Structure 1
Amino acid sequence: MSSATQSIAGSWFMAGQARREPAELTVDALGIARIAAQGEGRELAQAEAAELDISARLGQTPRFVRLPCGGVLETGDNDAVDALQRQWQPSRFRGWVHTLESHLPFVLVTAALVLVLAWASIFYGLPAAAERMAHALPAETLNTISTETLTLMDRLTLSPSELSAAKQAELQADFAPVLASYPQLPLKVLFRKGGERIGANAFALPDGTMIFTDEIVALAERNEELVAVLAHEIGHIHHRHSLRAMIQNSVIGIAYVMLVGDASAVGDLFVGLPVVAATLAYSREHELEADRFAVGYLDREGIDRRAFVDILQRMDDTAQCSELLSEEDDIVVEELSESERVALCEELIAEQDEAGDSSWSNYLSTHPAMQERLERFVGYPR
C-alpha cells in the first residue's frame, strides 16, 4: 500500500472559517498528505500523514481529520480513514476500540455499569462528600444562609409569635439545660406562629437557630415533649443535615445545568440557596439519625422516650386531620369549634380506615412511615 496513493473525499473547513468546500485528501507513497479542492486540483493544505489528528471511529458517524494548520476535513468514508491510519499511524489498540464500540453486548454492559456508577455516586458518594463539605464550611457561611432563610420564611410563611412573654420565658428556662449540654454548638431557640402552611412544627437552621411554632407549643401536653423535640432538632444541627441536603441538591442542580448547557443558571442556583433551605425536607436517614441523637440525650437525662413519641403521634394525627378536612369541599374549617373539628376528624379517619386507605400516613414523603419511626425510637438499645 506504500506505493499507491490513498484518496479520501470530504468537506474542507479552513481554520477559523465556517465555509465548507468539497475537497479531497490524498497521501502519496512518501507519506505526504495533501488537501486539494475537488475537481480543481488546487492545493489547500499539506502535512505529513503521521501528523494528522484523526477522530476516533464511532459507528458510521463522520470522521474529522485535523491538520497542523488548523484546517479540518470532514468525511464519511470511515473505511478509507481506517486504512490511512493503519498505514501511517499504526496502533494495536485502535482496532480494539472500534470493535468494542461495535459490539452490542459490550455496549449494553458498559451502559449498565455507567448507570450503576451514577446511582452509587448519587446515593453513596454524594452524601459522603456532602457530609465532609458541610462540616468544613465556616461559621460566616452558616450565618448568612440561616439569616436569609429566616428572613424569607418570616416574609412568606411565618408570623410573630403570639405566645405570652411568661410562656416563652418558661420554655426558655426548660430548654436552657439542653442547650448547655452542647456548648460546642451555637444554639438558640426562637418562637414563631406557623399558620396554615407550617402548623405544629419545629425546625433547625444551619447556624444553630431552632424555630418552635406556637402550634407545636399548644399541641404539647407537657414541656418534656418539647424538650424531646428540641433534642431531635439539635441532632439535625450536630450532623449538619440541612447543609448536607442543600449541598446534595445543589450538586445535582449543577450537574443538570451542565447537561442542558445553561451555565448562567449556576449563579441563580447559589442565589436561591435560602429558598432551598426554607423548603427542604430531611431525608429518611437524616430523620432517623436525629432520632438516635435525641434518644441519647433523653436516656442520659432520665426523660421517658414516650415524651417524643407522644408529641410526634399527636403531630401526625393533626397533619392527618388537616389533610382530610382540606379534601371536604362542603366544610368551612374556620367555622368549626375545636371540639367539632376533633369529632369530624375522628369520623373521617374511621371512614378512611374502613376503606383501607392509609395514604395519609406518608403525608411527608421524605419522612419514614410514622408508626415504623416511633417503634424504632422506642426500641433503640440503651
Structure 2
Amino acid sequence: MFQVHFFDGKTSKQQTAQLDMDGDELRLTGAFGERRGRLCDLDISEALDSAPRFIRFPDGGMCEIASHDLAEFAAWLARHGRQHGWVAQLQMRWRNAFAALLVCVASVFAAYLWILPAAAEYLAPHIPPAALQALSDQVLEALDGRLLAPSQLPAQRREAIAREFSALLATQSGLPAYRLHFRAAKGIGPNAFALPSGEIVVFDSLVGLAGDTSEVLAVLAHELGHLHYRHGVRHLIQSSVVSFALGMYLGDISSLAAGFSTLLLESRYSRAFEHDADAYAVSLLRHAGRDPVGLASMLAKLQASQGGDSGRSLLASHPDTPSRIDFIEASRR
C-alpha cells in the first residue's frame, strides 16, 4: 500500500489517500471515498528519473506518487503486469539518449542539405505561372518605387542588347521565356537579377561597366540559367521554410538572431544556385559559338567595382569570385 496525494480534477485541493490493489483493480481510498480502475484502463505516467509519477482516472481524478516511493512503485507495478514502456526503458540510459540526440541532429542536417532542396526543386514547377507573375509584378513594382528608376540608357543601346541576346538564343531550343528590363539604380552597384516569372532586370551601371556587349550578353545568359533552374521560386520556398523553422526555435524575441541565422544558412543555397547558373551560361554561350570569357571578365569587373568586397551587391551571397572565374576559364579548355 502507498500513501499518495489525490486531486479530484474539480478543485486544486490536495487530499491524502491510500493506493493498493484489489484483485485486478487498482483501489484508491480516502476521505473522498473510494475509486477503482483496471490497470489497463488507467493512464500511468512513464518513469522519468526522480520526477513524480501520476495515475489519471477516467473521471479526471489524479493521484501523485511521491519521489521517495518511485522505485518501490515501479516494482509494484511490474509485479502486477505493468512494465515500463519501451520509450521509458530507452531514456533510462544515457547512451540511448545521446544516440537519439545524434539521430535528431543528423536528421536536421539531412533535411537542410538534401531533403529541403529536393522538395523545393520538386514543388517549384508546380506553382501556377499566374502566382509567379503576380509575385514578380509586386516585387518589381516595390523596387521601382524605392530603389530603381527608369533606365537612362539610349533606346538604341537597349534595343541593340535585346536584339543581340535574342539572336544568340535563336539557334537553341528548350529555353525559358524571359522579358528584358533596364533600370537605373543608385547606391546599389552594377548588377542584374531574374524574377521567378521570367523578368530579367539589368542595371544601367552594369551596362556601363561592361567593356562590350558580349559581357552583357554573358550576364544575361547567367540570369537565364536562374530562370531555367527556377532558382527564384526554389530559393523562396527554401528560405521560407528555414525562416519558419528558426523562428519557431528561436522565438519572436530573437528575430534578429533568426534573421541572421537564415541569412547564413541560405547563403549556401545561393552559392549552389550561382554555380549552376554559371555552368548554364557557359554551356549556352559555347553552344552559340561564343567565348564564355565575357562572363569571367564581367565577374572580375563587378568585384573590382566593389573594391574587392561585395558590399551591398548580390555577390555577397555568391561563391567567391576567383573560384567562379577559375571555373569559367577551365570550361574554355
Please give the range of the TM-score, normalised by the shorter of the 2 chains: 0.7 to 0.9
- Counterpart of 1:167? 157
Distance change (3 Å), C-alpha of 1:380 and 1:50: same
Over 3 Å counting, the alpha-carbon distance change for 1:137 and 1:363 in structure 2 is closer
TM score, norm. by length of structure 1: 0.74
Q: Is the 8 A contact 1:54 1:64 kept in 2?
A: yes
Q: Post-superposition shift, 1:226?
A: 1.0
Q: Could you tell me how far 1:145 is from its partner in structure 2?
A: 1.7
Partner Cα distance (1:363, 1:188) in 2: 20
Deviations 1:93-151 (A, max 9, x none): x3664443232233223212221221111111111111111122111221122111112
Alignment partner, residue 371 of structure 1: 322
1:150 aligned residue: 140
Counterpart of 2:78 in structure 1 is 86
After superposition, the C-alpha distances for 1:154-212 in whole angstroms (9 at most, x for unaligned) are 22221221112222211221122345545662311111112112x20000000111100
Report the AA paired with residue 196 of structure 1: G
Q: What does the per-residue CA deviation read over 1:7-29, in whole Å, with 9 as the maximum and x for residues that have no partner? A: 25135251xx5735234362323
CA deviation vs aligned residue, 1:59-110 (integer Å, no higher than 9, x gap): 222333222223333444433542353234434xx36644432322332232
Match of 2:303 in 1: 316
Do 2:267 and 2:318's aligned partners in 1 also have CA atoms closer than 8 Å?
A: no
Q: Which residue of 2 aligns with 1:228?
A: 218
For residues 280 and 141 of structure 1, the distance between their equivalents in structure 2, rounded to whole angstroms, comes to: 25
Runs of 4+ aligned residues of structure 1 deviating over 6 Å after TM superposition are: none
Residue among 20, 26, 32 paired with 1:27: 20
Structure 2 unpaired stretches of 5+: none
Residue number in structure 2 paired with 1:343: none
Query: Within 5 A, what are the aligned runs for 1:149-298?
Result: 149-178=139-168, 181=172, 185-197=176-188, 199-259=189-249, 283-298=270-285
2:142 is paired with a residue whose SS is helix
Once residues 220 and 212 of structure 1 are traced to their aligned partners in structure 2, the CA distance between those partners, rounded to angstroms, is: 12
Q: CA RMSD in A?
A: 3.0
Which residue matches 1:301?
288
Q: Which runs of 5+ in 1 are unaligned?
A: 1-5, 270-275, 324-359
Query: For the structure 1 residues 156 and 290, does the alpha-carbon distance in structure 2 shift closer, same or farther, using more than 3 Å as the test?
Result: same
CA distance in structure 2 between the aligned counterparts of 1:141 and 1:281, rounded to whole angstroms: 26
* TM-score (normalizing by structure 2): 0.84
Contact 2:17–2:29 (Cα < 8 Å) also in 1 = yes
Deviation at residue 225 of structure 1 after TM alignment: 0.9
With over 3 angstroms needed to count, the CA separation of the structure-2 counterparts of 1:208 and 1:28, relative to structure 1, is same
Please give the alpha-carbon distance, in whole angstroms, between the structure 1 residues aligned to 2:220 and 2:175. Answer: 16
Aligned length: 319
